[in-house]
């Protein structure tokens, strides 16, 4: 099984550099975090059973359990997928959908005629077809090294999709939702037990944190993060 630590270091180095510079890194390990996360199986409202199986395997591979946090499904990242894709954002609320549709440059952002939920569904079906042709298995049934190879192939567009979308576009959506589900407020379905925040020493939604940036510079932030629900 691949060592999850390089992925952990990547997350910490690329996504939370600002927090580390403010002295919020160095949070103690989260041995007890698993006791704080969701225990009940999720009731999906958007994901089909096949899509749910893929998402659950994906988030557990991208966020494996270790001494710092539970695995992705324990944190509820799969639930975040379901709520985000089934909600207003996933259905294209406030997203311009009138065209014309041209291939945009990388810096121009999202340029597809599809809303995020459609991109996910089409991408998941295209990936499933590829996996069945290549391995004869669903993503959840692959060993960890093949799961990792599939993700790299998606990112690099070395998988052939017959759906009209580029694999990298699908990968970008998956990566975005995993990161949001790990670090968004728990009110949105992920980051259960505030495990993502505790992983990086993020204080939460408190509005008086400016003084703490100075007070705890280069020191661990010792307090429990505050969520929207905590502050309401």
Residue 191: what pLDDT? 96
Q: Which residues contact 81 (CB under 8 A, 6 or more apart)?
A: 47, 55, 59, 177, 181
204 neighbors 184 (Cβ within 8 angstroms): no
* Biggest distance spanned by C-alpha atoms of the chain: 57
Instruction: Give per-residue pLDDT as tens, 77-118.
Output: 999 999 999 999 999 888 877 777 777 776 777 778 899 999
Least confident of 95-104, 123-132, 163-172, 212-221: 95-104
> What pTM did the predictor assign?
0.80
pLDDT digits (tens, 9 = 90+) for 31-48: 444 444 455 667 899 999
d(CA 198, CA 61): 20
Quote the CA–CA distance of 200 and 183 in Å, as a whole number: 9
C-alpha count within 13 angstroms, C-beta hemisphere, residue 68: 20
Q: CA angle, corner 181, sides to 219 and 12, nearest 5?
A: 35
């Amino acid at each position: 099984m691949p060592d999850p630590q390089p992925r952990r270091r990547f997350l910490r180095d690329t996504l939370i550099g600002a927090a580390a510079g403010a002295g919020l890194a160095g949070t103690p390990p989260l041995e007890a975090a698993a006791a704080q996360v969701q225990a009940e199986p999720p009731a999906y409202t958007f994901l089909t059973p096949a899509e749910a199986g893929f998402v659950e395997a994906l988030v557990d591979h991208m966020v494996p359990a270790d001494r710092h946090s539970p695995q992705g499904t324990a944190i509820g990242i799969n639930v975040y997928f379901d709520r985000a894709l089934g909600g207003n954002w996933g259905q294209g609320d406030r997203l311009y959908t009138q065209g014309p549709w041209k291939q945009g440059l990388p810096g121009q952002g999202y340029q597809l005629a599809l809303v995020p939920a459609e991109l996910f569904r089409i991408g998941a079906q295209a990936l499933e077809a590829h996996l069945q042709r290549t391995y004869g298995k669903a993503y959840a049934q692959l060993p960890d090294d093949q799961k990792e190879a599939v993700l790299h192939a998606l990112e690099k567009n070395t998988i052939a999709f017959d759906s009209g979308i580029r694999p990298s576009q699908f990968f970008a959506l998956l990566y975005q939702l995993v990161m949001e589900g790990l670090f968004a407020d728990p009110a949105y379905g992920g980051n259960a037990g505030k495990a993502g925040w505790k992983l990086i020493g993020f204080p939460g939604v408190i509005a008086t944190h400016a003084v703490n940036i100075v007070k705890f510079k280069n020191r661990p932030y010792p307090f429990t993060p505050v969520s929207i629900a905590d502050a309401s």
